[in-house]
A = this chain, B = another copy of it.
Amino acid sequence: MQIIGEKINGTRKRVAQAIAERDAGFIKDLAVRQAEAGSAWLDVNAGTRPDLEPDDLVWLIETIQPEVDIPLCLDSANPLALRAAIGAVNKTPMINSISGEPGRLEKILPLAAEHGCQVIALALDEKKIPETSAKRLAIISQVMAATRAAGVPDERVYCDPLAMTLATNIHSAEVAFETMRGIKAAFPGVHLTIGLSNISFGLPARKYVNRTFLTLAIQAGLDSAILDPLDREMRAAILATELVLGRDKHCLNYVRASRAGVFDESK
């Protein structure tokens, strides 16, 4: 499992404040802690000030980059901001995200192709998020036709089947799993990723739902996720899931994590 650390996100109030105030210490700390907790990428979202987004994003990158050795995941739908950001990174970034929305595909995909970026592809189009896995798969198929036509290899595409909250549709996790299995069957070379926390929106005890959804999603083929790597119980769930699914040879990662204190043994 590759973790895309989600915490540097300007739609979060405290992060927005740090961006507005150019509080580099706060951002650096979030970056370092997420990297130390095993993130493969750090998601970087400059927030909700469209005019300022290119500058804000470049400031974030220049603040984070000297502190960590991992690449960034540029979280923006704004081609101007993305172009500025790609000019500022020193490691090939991931782009978060493209989708079946034609405007987004046309404007962002060429950037990804030109710079060899990984790219997250969402199973939604300009209308909305389809309810059925068949329709989501149809959108991903369109997107994949476009990424292939643009010369982006399947291995660089991270498909997100989309997790809608169980609070309004009790079958939404199953739809996501089905979509994941369908994508892997049709495009074996792609990765599967997911923004985890939507699944529990509006429910109590959300972290339990998120962790359990993650365990079952890994079983369905998920190999990456956008989540909070500082959530110790989430890391514990990933380690236990990889162990149970036979992917932790000689149980080494699990035993090592236990020695490092990842698990709360009192529970």
Contact = CB atoms under 8 A, between A and B. Distances in A.
Interface stretch (A24-32, A74-82, A154-162, A235-243): A235-243
B237 A205 contact: no
Secondary structure class of chain A's binding surface, majority of residues: helix
Interface stretch (A8-16, A56-64, A245-253): A245-253
19 contacts: A166-B243, A166-B251, A170-B243, A170-B248, A173-B246, A174-B246, A199-B244, A204-B254, A204-B255, A205-B236, A205-B262, A205-B263, A207-B267, A208-B237, A212-B244, A216-B219, A216-B241, A216-B244, A233-B267
A145 interface: no
Nearest to A212: B240
Contact of A246 (B170, B244, B251): B170
Contacts of A204: 254-255, 258-259, 263, 265
Interface in A221-241: 233, 236-237, 239-241
Question: How many copies of the chain does the oligomer comprise?
Answer: 2
Contacts of A216: 215-216, 219, 241, 244-245
Interface string A60-76: 00000000000000000
Contacts of A263: 204-205, 208
Interface string A27-39: 0000000000000
Interface residues of A, number: 42
Interface of A: 166-167, 170-171, 173-174, 199, 203-205, 207-209, 211-213, 215-216, 219, 233, 236-237, 239-241, 243-246, 248-251, 254-255, 258-259, 262-265, 267
B244 A166 contact: yes
Among A208, A240, A254, A267, the most chain B Cβ lie within 10 Å of the Cβ of A208
Given A204-B258, A205-B258, A251-B167, A237 B212 contact: yes
Contacts of A265: 204-205
Contacts of A254: 203-205, 209
A172 to B, nearest CB: 8
A249 B170 contact: yes
Of all A-B residue pairs in the complex, the 4 with the closest CB atoms, nearest first, are: A205-B263, A204-B258, A212-B240, A208-B240
Nearest to A239: B208
